[in-house]
Amino acid sequence: MSFLKSTGDIIGFLLLSLFAIVEGIIKLFTPLKYRMKSVAGEVALVTGGGSGLGRLISLRLANLGAVVVVWDINKSGIDETVKLVQASGGVCFGYVCDLCDREDVYQKAALLRKEVGKVTILINNAGIVTGKKFLDTPDQMIIRTMDVNIMSHFWTVKAFLPGMMEDDKGHIVSIASLAGYTGIPKLVDYCASKFAAVGFDEALRMELEAEGYSIQTTVICPYFIRSTGMFEDVQSRFVPTLKSNEVADRVITAMRCNEKYAIVPGYLQGMLALKWMFPWTCAAMFLRGLVLDASPNHGVPSPSIPETEVTSIPSKDQNGSALHHQIARRVSSSERKP
């Protein structure tokens, strides 16, 4: 019986795989406008929406008829985004939220549900980069990078996923990076956080599918983006850095088409495959030749600072503004399941 069951499972797997491949080919040749779902009337939360890529995504969602909610630590940036969305005829709400503080995330999530409604589209966009060699990066900055770039995903998803599961409806978008697939000098903490974001998205999707939910997840992995305040000075060869408007358009398209992942530009997907096909020496030489220096302005080691004296550290963030807030803080040991 065990042999027959295993044989049946293999045959079923092959048939379902064939069906999935045919379905993928059909979608590939289906015009884009017929593949995109409507987001009109959906409540969409964009973290780090106070400027840069987050603001561009917010404007596009509002133009498509979504009710947009912006979270950021920058109050003036939030106000500017809300004004721009409203000026374009959209609906937008803004809340100051410290994504490094899970209790603040849970409190603002409860307030959002009360004042706006259930979030059905969650876009985890907020991100920062320090751009220093690993041993030159203060501990607090490493903690900050992980808190903003990945730990905040845990807190926002825990806050809003239960509501999505109640209605078996929702979409979670993680803005990761190609640095979530390849290591780059001076970006050790950043790469680690983006590798984690890619893994978070895939594992969460697998878990939701295994439990029979129709909630969608998408991870976006772009190359270096210009005009976001993070990689303005990156020294890249052969592959041009990306325009933020192009990336914002790709985020919306990927989400509306229920794509599982989107690598930007798309042709780099093939290069990632080659990374595992060739010896590591070849892959490392290629990556070093492609990205000469990811953060030229941070190449000089900074003097060590006693941890007791570090209370606030500015870092370049994904949305083009400097985030300044308390880092040396105590994290509550209590667990909470919203």
- 242 secondary structure, DSSP code: B
How far apart (Å, rounded) are the C-alpha atoms in residues 254 and 217? 10
Structure tokens, 148: 């903003």
C-alpha distances (whole Å) from 228 to each of 116, 125, 331 are 29, 12, 29
Structure tokens, 143: 């903690």
How far apart (Å, rounded) are the C-alpha atoms in residues 67 and 246? 22
Quickly count: other Cβ atoms within 10 Å of residue 320's Cβ. Answer: 20
Q: If you write DSSP's letter for every residue of 3-61 in order, what string do you get?
A: HHHHHHHHHHHHHHHHHHHHHHHHHHTS-HHHHPPP-TT-EEEEETTTSHHHHHHHHHH
Residues 6+ apart with CB under 8 A from 3: none
Structure tokens, 254: 């990927």
What b-and-e string marks burial along 85-100, b requiring 16 or more CB atoms within 10 Å of the CB?
Answer: beeeebebbbbebbbb
How far apart (Å, rounded) are the C-alpha atoms in residues 331 and 91? 35
| Active site positions, annotated | 190
Structure tokens, 119: 């979030």
Q: If you write DSSP's letter for every residue of 253-309 in order, what string do you get?
A: HHHHTT-SEEEESTTHHHHHHHHHHS-HHHHHHHHHHHEEES-GGG-SPPPP--GGG
Torsion of Cα atoms, 194 then 148 then 57 then 198, to 10°: 20
How far apart (Å, rounded) are the C-alpha atoms in residues 114 and 208? 26
Write the burial class of residue 154 (CB in 10 Å: 0-12 exposed, 13-18 middle, 19+ buried). middle
